Amino acid sequence: MHYHQDVEQPSNSDPDLDPDRVDQLILDALLFEPASGPWALDELVRETRRDPIEIDDSLWRLYRTGVIHRLRDGFVFLSRAGAHAAALLDPESERASWTHRSPDYPRGQGAP
């Protein structure tokens, strides 16, 4: 006897979604969600409502470009380069204020 279980697909799953858009959904979650610390794959699947394979593929793309760090146990977090790149893409955003903050050095003096 075979049992057939219907696996519910995430409601936002769209097979024609551009991989760049999935990458952006993940970056948005890493940048703007109040969670502190690394994110697990299943947390990103729930947050983005995307297919786990789509999320994993996107995480590898982002990791290879240096935008995120990926730990051996599967947790991911935004790299400093990723945070700075995001601020450069949207200089008016709140995140730009903390990533491009220059120290207040006395006039004529650089960093110690």
CATH number, domain containing residue 45:
1.10.10.10
* Structural domain boundaries enclosing 24: 19-96
Residue 59 to residue 56: CA distance in whole angstroms: 5
pLDDT higher than threshold 70 for residue 19: yes
Mean pLDDT of the chain: 75
Position 5 in a domain:
no
Position 12 in a domain:
no
Position 28 in a domain:
yes
pLDDT of residue 40: 94
Which of the two residues, 10 and 73, has the higher pLDDT score? Answer: 73
Which of the two residues, 17 and 21, has the higher pLDDT score? Answer: 21
pLDDT of residue 28: 87
pLDDT higher than threshold 90 for residue 102: no
Position 31 in a domain:
yes
The pLDDT tens digits of the residues spanning 33-58 come to: 766 679 999 999 999 999 999 999 99
Tokens of residue 10, six digits:
């995430």
Position 3 in a domain:
no
- The answer to whether 20 and 67 are in contact (CB under 8 A) is no
Residue 64 to residue 79: CA distance in whole angstroms: 12
Position 9 in a domain:
no
Position 46 in a domain:
yes
pTM (global) more than 0.75:
no
Provide, rounded to the nearest whole percent, the portion of the chain with pLDDT above 70: 62
pLDDT of residue 105: 46
Position 52 in a domain:
yes
Number of structural domains in the chain: 1
- The answer to whether 9 and 51 are in contact (CB under 8 A) is yes
